[in-house]
Structure 1
Amino acid sequence: MTGAQLIMACLKAHHVTTLFGYPGGAIMPTYDALYDAGLDHLLCRNEQGAAMAAIGYARSTGKVGVCIATSGPGATNLVTGLGDAMMDSIPVVTITGQVASPLIGTDAFQEADVLGLSFACTKHSFIVQSADVALQGDLIQVLNALKQDLEPWREQIRDLKAKLDFTYIENQGNRPIDPWALLNSLSNRKPNNAVICTDVGQHQMWSAQHMLRVARHRGFTVTTMEMTLIETQVRLKITVKSDRTLDLLVNQLAKLPDVLMVN
C-alpha cells in the first residue's frame, strides 16, 4: 500500500465520501489513489473555490469538509478558505502536495513553506498525520502536506528508459543550442522513437515551432506543460500525444540529462 492509498483508506475509515479539489503535479499520486478509491471528487475552478466548497459542505452536512490541492501556488490559494473556516470553527481537512523531501527548502519548482503559511489559520499543520484531529476540541481544520514519494517515479522512469532510446544534445555552459543541430538530430531519429518535453514559451520561437512541425511529421511523441499544450493546439495545430503515464512522468523525466527538453 502506498502513502496515497493509505490516505484514501483513512478518509474512508472516517466516513469521508466527498472531496473538493484542483489537481496539479505534486498531488497527482494522491489523485491516482483517489481515482481507484471510489470516492466522489468535485473538480473546482480553482483552489480557492475548493476550500470554500469544502466549508459549505461541512456547514450543510455536519461532516468534515475535505479539499485537495497541489504544492506551492495550489496550497497558498487555500489560505483564505482556511482562515474563513477557522473564524467560524468549521471542520475542514486540507490535503496538499509538496515537493520531494530532498528538494524542500531549495526553492524548487512550485515549492512554498505551506506549514509556515498555514499555522496562523489552522488548528494545526503537519506532515502526514491523521484526519480525526479536525473533529477534536474546537472544530477547526488540519492541513496535511504530502511529501511526494519518488521511488514509484524512479521505477516507472527506469521502465520507460528501457523501452525508449533517449538521447540529448549537450549544452556546454550557458550557450544556446544551435537550432539546426537540434533539427538535424530529430531528422536522424526513427519514427515513434523519441519523446520531446517542451516548456512554456516554445511557441514564441521559429525554431521551436519548426521543431514541433518536424516532430509531428516524424511521428514523435510530444508532451508539454499545460500552457504550452494550449498554445500548441491553438496556434500550431499540432496533435499532442500525451497519455496519462507520460503526463505523470514528465516532471521527473525533465530532470534527467538524456531527455530532449525544449525551452
Structure 2
Amino acid sequence: MTSIDLNADLGEGFGRWHLTDDDRLLSVVTSANVACGFHAGDPATMRRVCDLAAERGVRIGAQVAYRDLAGFGRRAMDVPPAELAAEVAYQIGALEVFARAAGSRVSYVKPHGALYNRVVHDEDQAGAVVDGVLLADTTLPVLGLPGSRLLELAAKAGLPTVPEAFADRAYTDEGTLVPRGVSGALVTEPEVVVARSVELARSGRVETLSGQRIEVRARSLCLHGDTAGAVALARLVRERLEGAGVRLEAFA
C-alpha cells in the first residue's frame, strides 16, 4: 500500500489572535509544522499545540522562519548566514522545550514562507539553515522541496531529508512553487486540491500552472492551515486518499 505523511502549518497565531484551527486540524494531519515565534506563534500557543499534538500522536515539527512577525515571514530578507543559523537553532530549541514537556519531541524541521522559497536556490541561506539544524540536533530530518539546495546540503551534512509536495499551491514547469503574488498561485477549488493530492501520492506527478505534467516525488504532502475552509478540506483530502488506498502515516 502507498503511504504518505500529511502535514499542515499550525500554531500560527499571536496572543489572542488565532489564524489556524489547531485543535481540529490535529485530528486530521499526521505531522504539525509549528510556528516558533518568528513569523507567528508565541510561547503559550507553542505549548498548547505541542500538548495537543502529543496527545493525538501527531509528530511535531519546528517551522523556522525569518524574524518577520509583521510580514508573516513572507517578505524577502537578507540575513547574514551566521545570524540565520543561530536564529534557526534558537527556534528549534524553544519548541523542543514545549515538545518534551508534552512527552514528545521535535521530530523534524521545515522552513516557512520566504525562507522556504529562498533555500530552494540560495546556497548561503540553505547552508545557514542546515548549520542551525546541526546546532540543535544532528539527527533531525529536514523537510523541503525536492531538488532544492536545502535538501542537497542537508543530505551532505548527514541529516535525513524528506521531500515535500503541495496540493494547494501551483507549480512552475521547473518544479518550484509559483510565487504567491502571481495569479493562480493558490489552488482553492476543493475538488482540484483533492485530485492533486491523490495524484501526488499515487503517481508522484502534478499539473503545473502552464498545464504540463511534471514529476514531484514526495514523502509528505502539505495543506496550508491558514486558508479558508482548511479543516473541511483537510478532512476531505484524508478521506479521498484513504479511499484511494493510500495509508496516512508520519515519516518521522
Is this a same-fold pair by TM over 0.5?
no
Greater strand fraction, Structure 1 or Structure 2: 2
Structure-2-length-normalised TM-score:
0.28
Structure-1-length-normalised TM-score:
0.27
